[in-house]
Structure 1
Amino acid sequence: MVEEEARQGQGVTPAEGMEDDSTSFFDPTRFKILAIGVVAALAGLMSGIDIGVVSGALAFFGKQFHASTLALSWVVSSMMAGAAVGSVSAGWLSHHMGRKRALILGAAVFAVGAAGCALSWSIPSMIAFRVVMGVAVGLSAFTAPLYLSEIASEDSRGAMVSTYQLMLTVGIFVAFLSDTYFSYSGDWRWMFGVAAFPAALFLIGVLFLPYSPRWLVMQGRHREARQIMLDLRNDPLEAAKEIQAIRLQLETKQDGWKLFRTNSNFRRSVGLGIMLQAMQQFAGINIVMFYAPKILEYAKFDTQSQVWCTAIIGMVNMFATFVAVGLVDRWGRKPILYVGFTVMAIAMVVLGCLLHSGMGSSGAQMAAVFVLMVFCAGHAMSAGPLMWVLCSEIQPIGGRDFGMAASTLTNWVTNMIVGLSALTLMETLGAAGTFWLVGALNALFLILTILLVPETKGMALAVIEERLMKGVKLRKLGR
Structure 2
Amino acid sequence: MSAPHGKAASPFRQPKAVWAVAFACVISFMGIGLVDPILPALGKSLHASPSQVSLLFSSYLIVTAVAMLFVGWVSSHLGAKRTLVIGLAVIVVFAALAGTTDSINGIVGFRAGWGLGNALFIATSLAVIVASASGGFGGAIILYETALGLGIAVGPLLGGELGGISWRGPFFGVAVLMAVALAATLAFVPSLPKPKHVVSPIAPLKALRHRGLLTMGIMALLYNWGFFTMLGYAPYPMELSAHELGLVFTGWGLLVAAFSVFVAPRLQARYGTAPVLYANLLGLGIVMAVIAAGVGTPTVVIVAVIVSGAFIGINNTLTTQAVMLVSPVERPVASSAYGFLRFIGGGLAPFVAGKLADATDLSVPFYLGAATFLLAIPVLASGHGLLRKAEAHTGDSEPVAPSFTPVGSPAATSDAPPVIVAVGAHDRASVIVDAAARVARDTGSPLEVVHVQQTAVIEEQAVETETADQARAAVTAHLDRLTAHGIAATGQILTSVGDHAAAGRALARHAADVHARTVAIGHSPRGPVMQFADGSFTTALTHAAACTVILVEPDSTPRPLTTDALAELRNSAA
Give the TM-score, by structure 2 length.
0.60
Compared with structure 1, are the counterparts of its residues 163 and 395 closer, same or farther at alpha carbon in structure 2 (3 Å cutoff)? farther
Deviation at 1:166, TM superposition (A): 5.9
- What amino acid sits opposite 1:422 in the alignment? A
1:437 maps to which residue? Answer: 368
Deviation at 1:99, TM superposition (A): 0.3
Deviation at 1:69, TM superposition (A): 4.0
1:190 maps to which residue? Answer: 169
CA distance in structure 2 between the aligned counterparts of 1:156 and 1:295, rounded to whole angstroms: 44
- What amino acid sits opposite 2:14 in the alignment? K
Q: In structure 2, which of residues 236, 249, 260 is the aligned counterpart of residue 294 of structure 1?
A: 236
Does residue 285 of structure 1 match 2:214? Answer: no
CA contact (8 A) 2:51 2:353 kept: no
- What amino acid sits opposite 1:290 in the alignment? G
- What amino acid sits opposite 1:196 in the alignment? A
2:293 maps to which residue? Answer: 353
Deviation at 1:64, TM superposition (A): 2.4
- Post-superposition Cα deviations, 1:292-320, rounded to whole Å, max 9, x if no partner, equal 321313xxx56654443233223332332
Secondary structure of 1:31's counterpart equals coil
CA distance in structure 2 between the aligned counterparts of 1:401 and 1:370, rounded to whole angstroms: 37
CA distance in structure 2 between the aligned counterparts of 1:107 and 1:82, rounded to whole angstroms: 16
Does residue 25 of structure 1 match 2:7? Answer: yes
In terms of Rg, which structure is larger? 2
1:108 maps to which residue? Answer: 89
Compared with structure 1, are the counterparts of its residues 459 and 408 closer, same or farther at alpha carbon in structure 2 (3 Å cutoff)? same
1:5 maps to which residue? Answer: none
Deviation at 1:38, TM superposition (A): 4.6
CA contact (8 A) 1:39 1:202 kept: yes
CA contact (8 A) 2:62 2:343 kept: yes
CA distance in structure 2 between the aligned counterparts of 1:94 and 1:142, rounded to whole angstroms: 9
- Post-superposition Cα deviations, 1:359-416, rounded to whole Å, max 9, x if no partner, equal 3xxxxx43432222222211111x212222222232224x554443222111222211
Matches within 5 A, 1:27-426: 31-32=13-14, 36-148=17-129, 150=131, 156=137, 160=140, 164=144, 167-168=147-148, 170-185=150-165, 187-207=166-186, 208-212=188-192, 215=194, 218=196, 267-282=210-225, 284-297=226-239, 301=240, 305-322=244-261, 323-355=263-295, 358-359=296-297, 365-381=298-314, 383-397=315-329, 400-426=331-357
Deviation at 1:137, TM superposition (A): 0.5
Compared with structure 1, are the counterparts of its residues 462 and 153 closer, same or farther at alpha carbon in structure 2 (3 Å cutoff)? farther
Deviation at 1:337, TM superposition (A): 0.9
Deviation at 1:148, TM superposition (A): 4.2
CA contact (8 A) 2:357 2:365 kept: yes
Deviation at 1:268, TM superposition (A): 1.4
Count of aligned pairs: 393
Deviation at 1:160, TM superposition (A): 4.3
- What amino acid sits opposite 2:185 in the alignment? V
Deviation at 1:199, TM superposition (A): 1.1
CA distance in structure 2 between the aligned counterparts of 1:293 and 1:255, rounded to whole angstroms: 41
Compared with structure 1, are the counterparts of its residues 440 and 70 closer, same or farther at alpha carbon in structure 2 (3 Å cutoff)? closer
Identity over the aligned pairs, expressed in percent?
A: 22
Compared with structure 1, are the counterparts of its residues 96 and 303 closer, same or farther at alpha carbon in structure 2 (3 Å cutoff)? closer
Which segment is superposed worse, 372-381 or 437-446? 437-446
CA distance in structure 2 between the aligned counterparts of 1:256 and 1:200, rounded to whole angstroms: 29
Q: In structure 1, which of residues 449, 456, 459 is the aligned counterpart of residue 393 of structure 2?
A: 459
Deviation at 1:203, TM superposition (A): 1.4
- What amino acid sits opposite 2:86 in the alignment? L
CA distance in structure 2 between the aligned counterparts of 1:165 and 1:445, rounded to whole angstroms: 27
CA distance in structure 1 between the aligned counterparts of 2:167 and 2:205, rounded to whole angstroms: 46
More helix by share: 1
Deviation at 1:176, TM superposition (A): 0.9
Secondary structure of 1:32's counterpart equals coil
- Provide the aligned C-alpha RMSD in A: 3.6
Deviation at 1:169, TM superposition (A): 5.0
Deviation at 1:190, TM superposition (A): 1.1
Runs of at least 4 residues off by over 6 Å: 152-155, 253-256, 258-261
Compared with structure 1, are the counterparts of its residues 391 and 165 closer, same or farther at alpha carbon in structure 2 (3 Å cutoff)? farther
CA distance in structure 1 between the aligned counterparts of 2:325 and 2:134, rounded to whole angstroms: 19
Deviation at 1:55, TM superposition (A): 1.6
CA contact (8 A) 1:280 1:384 kept: no
CA contact (8 A) 1:86 1:137 kept: no
Compared with structure 1, are the counterparts of its residues 25 and 36 closer, same or farther at alpha carbon in structure 2 (3 Å cutoff)? farther
Deviation at 1:70, TM superposition (A): 4.2
- What amino acid sits opposite 2:357 in the alignment? M
CA distance in structure 1 between the aligned counterparts of 2:162 and 2:396, rounded to whole angstroms: 51
Flag structure 2 segments of 5+ consecutive residues without an equivalent.
399-505, 510-574
CA contact (8 A) 2:72 2:333 kept: no
Compared with structure 1, are the counterparts of its residues 344 and 329 closer, same or farther at alpha carbon in structure 2 (3 Å cutoff)? same
CA contact (8 A) 2:34 2:159 kept: yes
More strand by share: 2
Compared with structure 1, are the counterparts of its residues 28 and 428 closer, same or farther at alpha carbon in structure 2 (3 Å cutoff)? closer
2:560 maps to which residue? Answer: none
Deviation at 1:444, TM superposition (A): 2.2
Deviation at 1:341, TM superposition (A): 0.9
Deviation at 1:28, TM superposition (A): 9.0
